[in-house]
Amino acid sequence: MSASLRIKIKMIMRGEFMELIAGTTVFALKVGATELGIPIYSIEDKDKGMSVTNNAKGVIREIAACCGAIFDGAVIVYRDTCGLWDELVVTGGEFSEYRYNGGLTENEAISIAVAKRNVGV
């Protein structure tokens, strides 16, 4: 990660990871926010059934059903079955696209995602 993208994020957690199921996709979810109030959703694929990557629409719908609407601009990072962290983008409350992140850890992925929003990437 470049020095220009290194920023410190304080997570305000609403609990530990909780396990959810969307169709055949089993995943863990942690919800929090930055100090500025940007919502953060951290998803870990449990490698059971369909992957988070292949069922992104269902995963986002299940999170919204469980936690309430997901707003545009929310940070949604996920660890795939290979252990890599990337992003899911939501537009109008629905999954709209994947975004490469490249973070090696959850905290790094969140920092990268927030930094990209701050510089308009």
Strand stretches in the chain, DSSP E:
18-22, 25-33, 39-45, 75-79, 85-91, 94-103
What is the DSSP code (8-state) at residue 81? T
Confidence of residue 119 (pLDDT cuts 50, 70, 90): low
Task: Convert the pLDDT of each residue in 35-71 to its tens digit.
Answer: 888 899 999 999 999 999 999 999 999 999 999 999 9
pTM of the predicted protein model = 0.84
Domain ranges within the chain, ordered by starting residue: 16-119
3-state secondary structure of 53: helix
Confidence of residue 117 (pLDDT cuts 50, 70, 90): confident
Give the DSSP per-residue string, 24-47.
TEEEEEEEEE-TT--EEEEEEE-S
3-state secondary structure of 115: helix
Task: Convert the pLDDT of each residue in 86-102 to its tens digit.
Answer: 999 999 999 999 999 98
